[in-house]
Amino acid sequence: MGIYDGKKGLITGVFNKQSIAWAIADQIMSEGGECGFSYMPDKPDDARKKNLGRITKLTEGNPRVKFLQPMDVTNDEHIGVVMDCCRNELGKIDFLLHSIAFALPTDLKGDTIATSRDGFKLAMEISAYSLLALANAAQDVLNDGASILTLTYFGGEKAVPGYNVMGVCKAALDSIVKYLAFDLGPRGIRVNALSAGPLQTISGRGAGVDEMLGLYEGMAPLGRNITHDEAGSSGSFLLSSQSSGITGEILHLDGGYNAMGSPGRLLDKFKK
């Protein structure tokens, strides 16, 4: 018996095997859950359909995978189609994982002060507003007592050089979590965020994860970085009934890095 036996839900934002969303989905399915997946649409001129190919490679042959559907979260019709897939293939759902973020490379890599107006709008729409859009569209397919989880990062709470405009988006996302928790609370629907430390993912590499790994290892009380398995376990916990009393929370999965007010043991490297 798994903790997800009889449970069904929607997973968004899986890009490849290194995605935190995949680590969570894989854990859910190993515990008996059934999942529908949305993924970033392929470009019209991409004859190879690389995005579809990546997620198909991960999910092919798994009887717990109920559908694969492209979704552009800036398009309400796309979101509606995904919700129709949930109704048709899953019925009512018990969990929804939001793992979607994007900023133009020129804005992400440049100083925050130089973020373009259009780039800011796009990054905020995809990285923050999309959680509101998905939660709103999913209201009639979510069971009472369901759980919604999004993925955030410490750069939304403190200034993290290199994270730049995405940190501003994550700050908005963190606030949305709290307001959605209030709005959906009367139905027992919980909304939380998982704030993972640096991992080797597509988005992580875009934000300079290689430089962050050594910093976290040196500063975190546990003296190490987290793993994909830990992200999967923590995320699946927050989406399960085992966290039934938790909502409006940001769970930091970073070896305790966020608790530090000084560089900690990292200072030992500078002692004479």
Superfamily of domain 8-258 in CATH is NAD(P)-binding Rossmann-like Domain (3.40.50.720)
Point out the catalytic residue in the list 4, 39, 153, 257: 153
| pLDDT confidence band for 203 (50 / 70 / 90) | low
**Is position 179 annotated as part of the catalytic site?**
no
Closest CA to 156 of 174, 166, 169, 171: 171
Pick the more confident residue, 18 or 46: 18
Closest CA to 148 of 138, 163, 161: 138
**Is position 163 annotated as part of the catalytic site?**
yes
Task: Give 104's contacts (C-beta < 8 A, 6+ positions apart).
Answer: 116, 119, 122, 123
Give residue-wise pLDDT tens across range 84-97.
999 999 999 999 99
Are the beta carbons of 65 and 35 closer than 8 angstroms? yes
Predicted local confidence at residue 144, as pLDDT: 98
Closest CA to 208 of 172, 167, 169, 174: 167
Q: CA Rg, the chain, in Å?
A: 18
Q: Domain boundaries in the chain?
A: 8-258
Pick the more confident residue, 263 or 242: 242
Does 272 have pLDDT greater than 60? no
CA 252 to chain centre: 13
Q: Give residue 255's region: left, alpha or beta (phi > 0; psi -120 to 50).
A: left
Give residue-wise pLDDT tens across range 147-167.
999 999 999 999 999 899 999
